[in-house]
Amino acid sequence: PLKHTNKITMNSYIRGNNFEIETLRVFMSHDVEVYRIRIESSSWAHLAKVSSQDTKHRIESTSPRPGDGGVDLFGNYEGFLILVQCKNRRRNIGPEILRDLEGVLSRYHNDTTIGILVVPFKENYTAGTIRRARTSRYNIILTDVRDLYLDLVWFVEERQIDDLVRFIEERIRLVEERSFLALYYNYDDIKSGESIMGTLSSAPNIETWTYVHYILQKK
Task: Between 189 and 59, name the one with better pLDDT.
Answer: 189
Residue 17: pLDDT over 60: yes
Residue 140: pLDDT over 70: yes
Task: Between 71 and 65, name the one with better pLDDT.
Answer: 71
Residues linked to residue 208 through DSSP beta bridges, in sequence order? none
Residue 96: pLDDT over 80: yes
pLDDT band at 218 (very low <50, low <70, confident <90, very high): low
pLDDT in tens, 28-63: 999 999 998 754 434 333 343 443 334 444 444 322
How far is 211 from 170, CA to CA, in rounded Å?
11
pLDDT band at 183 (very low <50, low <70, confident <90, very high): low
pLDDT at 8: 52
Residue 181: pLDDT over 80: no
- State which of 71-75, 187-191, 204-208 shows the largest mean pLDDT: 71-75
Task: Please report, for the chain, the start and end positions of each structural domain, with discontinuous segments joined by +.
Answer: 2-147, 157-218
pLDDT at 7: 52
* Whether the Cβ atoms of residue 72 and residue 85 lie closer than 8 Å to each other: yes
The dihedral formed by the CA atoms of 22, 24, 25 and 30, expressed in degrees to the nearest 10 = 140
pLDDT at 61: 39
* Whether the Cβ atoms of residue 82 and residue 114 lie closer than 8 Å to each other: yes
How far is 51 from 15, CA to CA, in rounded Å?
30
Q: Which CATH class for the 2-147 domain?
A: alpha beta
* Residue 217, C-beta contacts closer than 8 angstroms, at least 6 positions apart: none
pLDDT at 115: 96
Lowest mean pLDDT across 14-18, 132-136, 147-151, 206-210: 206-210
Lowest mean pLDDT across 82-91, 119-128, 136-145, 202-211: 202-211
Mean pLDDT, rounded, for 178-191: 53
pLDDT at 108: 92
* Whether the Cβ atoms of residue 88 and residue 15 lie closer than 8 Å to each other: yes
CA proximity to 82, closest of 147, 151, 146, 134: 151
How far is 179 from 164, CA to CA, in rounded Å?
22
The pTM of the full predicted model, rounded to 2 decimals, is 0.64
How many residues are present in the chain? Answer: 219
